Amino acid sequence: VLFRVKPIQFRLVPRRLQQARAASLARQAFLQQGLHRTKGATGVLIFVSEAEHYVEILADQGIAQHVPDSEWQSMVDAFIAHLKRGDVAKGFQECVAACGDKLAAHVPATEQKNELPNHLVIL
């Protein structure tokens, strides 16, 4: 019964397990949104689980080969700092802008129409 109360649930479930579940959800969302199906393998997902203070940026192969994990991690760390302060909106804004800067440098925009919609998905 205690596990049904969210604040108690988050205190009782080990942090490692919470983050493993969030990471699994991030990968599921990447596939469900079809981000792996773009022509140039250029899909990017910014996954945020506010309760766990978990953020992950998943990039398809076409982008991942150009941007090292350390650069994504610095964006994630900045976003998590915003989450801990309760400033989710500013965290999103800065993370999206930073991702945009990385993409512009490594995978420049083309005249083609976006293959995927740019929108927020709440699970």
| Higher pLDDT among residues 78 and 8, named by residue | 78
pLDDT per position as a tens digit, 21-40 = 889 999 999 999 888 888 88
42-51 pLDDT, tens digit per residue, is 889 999 987 7
Q: Is the pLDDT of residue 113 over 70?
A: yes
Task: Compute CA distances 92 → 56, 70, 84, whole Å.
Answer: 12, 19, 13
Q: Which CATH fold topology does 2-106 show?
A: Diaminopimelate Epimerase; Chain A, domain 1 (3.10.310)
* Residue 61, amino acid: Q
Q: What is the pLDDT of residues 69-106, one digit of tens each?
A: 999 999 999 999 998 898 989 999 999 999 999 988 88
Instruction: Kindly state the average pLDDT of the residues 11-30.
Output: 86
Query: What token pair was written down for 76?
Result: 């994630």
Q: pTM, whole model, 2 decimals? A: 0.80
Query: Exposed e or buried b for every residue in 62-86, given b needs 16+ CB within 10 A?
Result: bbeeebeeeebeebbeebeebbeee
Mean confidence (pLDDT) of the chain: 86
- Contact criterion met (CB below 8 Å) for 47 and 72: no
> How much is the pLDDT for 2?
65
Mean pLDDT of 6-35: 83
Q: What confidence score (pLDDT) does residue 27 get? A: 93
Q: Helix 69-85 to helix 88-106 angle, to the nearest 10 degrees?
A: 160
